[in-house]
Amino acid sequence: MNSTINTSMNTFEWIMLITLSILWGGSFFFVGVLVDHLPPLTIVVLRVGIAAAVLHLVLMVQGDLIKSDARVWRAFLVMGFLNNVVPFTLIVWGQSHIASGLASILNATTPIFTVVVAHYMTSDERFSTARIVGVLAGFAGVAVMIGPDLLQNLGTNVWAQVAILGAALSYAFAGVYGRRFRTLGVKPMHTATGQVTASTLMLAPVALWVEMPWRLPMPGLEEWAALLGLAVLSSALAYILYFRILATAGATNVLLVTLLVPVSAIILGVTVLGESLDRDAMVGMGLIAIGLLVIDGRVLRLFQRAAKVD
């Protein structure tokens, strides 16, 4: 769990993080297509279940199946519980009571929680001024980008807001817990497969009992396309990238993706749907960019070296 990681991400890790943010940003579109046709837990179970099936099929074709190691599968169950079951359930319940924009702002506290959790639970992701300032700047950027008017609703539906914050905290613990897969010698592909498999096993009985999906009408082609996009792109491929970044760059860095997801969602809206980009969105993205540059640290070190030369 305390294996050394790169606190300053390299170029390839940044490319993976941006790609991950696009995949998860796209999930809002896919979910938007599905929510009017399927209940929430059924969507979640189909998302992780199809992702698990796809990843197992890929491993089967590669001849690289996951070993039947009880210790590793226990870790998969814990990871699935922290990274899928708890946050997905809390977010679904929370978003039924508060606006999605406010939920996005609260979810963007994930890196803040991760900085704190990682400081106390790891030896190489300690507090630093740059990291704290960068995360706070990024969080401010998300709040500005999504809209300050939403902050007026912070006093209402308190328990729903607590639920979203609880999901963010669960993501933080999942990020730190997930570092152990590297020390266990588990490949990112295997970790991604094991997590969504464990999540499916835990969530399927609940969805079957609560929502009885066999009584629902069969989804149409558009819904199936959205479901496959959500499962294959925004889950299977996304979690492979997530665990690759986590293994080499740590929990705090990989969960910076929660700051980038709103940016990706807005850019996708502008480029794909022809939506407009307003001033608040541009200012917010600028603050997020500044925060990420501060967290990365390389620009700051360049200025420090230039100052020494002068």
Distance CA 47, CA 289 (A): 31
Distance CA 294, CA 291 (A): 5
Q: Is 6 contained in some domain?
A: no
DSSP conformation letters of 181-200: HHHTT--HHHHHHHHHHHHH
Q: What is the pLDDT of residue 305?
A: 65
Q: Is 47 contained in some domain?
A: yes
Domain membership of residue 44 as a residue range = 11-309
Q: Is 130 contained in some domain?
A: yes
Q: Is 38 contained in some domain?
A: yes
Q: Which residues of 235-255 are buried (b: 16+ CB within 10 A; e: fewer)?
A: bbbbbbbbbbbbbbbbbbbbb
Write out the two tokens for 90.
């809390």
Q: Is 3 contained in some domain?
A: no
The per-residue pLDDT string of the chain (310 residues; one tens digit each, 9 = 90 and over) reads 445 566 677 889 889 999 998 898 777 678 777 877 888 888 889 999 999 999 999 999 999 988 888 999 999 999 999 998 898 788 877 877 776 666 777 787 888 888 888 888 887 777 777 778 888 888 888 778 766 665 566 566 788 888 888 998 999 999 999 988 988 889 999 999 999 999 999 999 999 998 888 888 888 898 999 999 999 999 999 999 999 998 888 887 888 888 888 777 777 777 766 766 677 778 878 888 887 777 766 666 666 665 665 5
CB neighbours of residue 163 within 10 Å: 24
Q: Is 91 contained in some domain?
A: yes
Distance CA 20, CA 240 (A): 9
Distance CA 138, CA 177 (A): 24
Q: Categorise residue 147: left if φ over 0, alpha if ψ from -120 to 50, beta otherwise.
A: left
Indicate the number of domains in the chain. 1
Q: Is 153 contained in some domain?
A: yes
pTM to 2 decimal places: 0.80
Q: What is the pLDDT of residue 75?
A: 95
Q: What is the pLDDT of residue 68?
A: 83
Write out the two tokens for 120.
């106390």
Element (H, E) at 245: helix 238-254
Q: Is 1 contained in some domain?
A: no
Write out the two tokens for 303.
């200025």
Distance CA 287, CA 296 (A): 14
Q: How would you class 39 by CB atoms within 10 Å of its CB: exposed for 0-12, middle for 13-18, buried for 19 or more? A: middle
Distance CA 50, CA 299 (A): 41
Write out the two tokens for 242.
């997530």
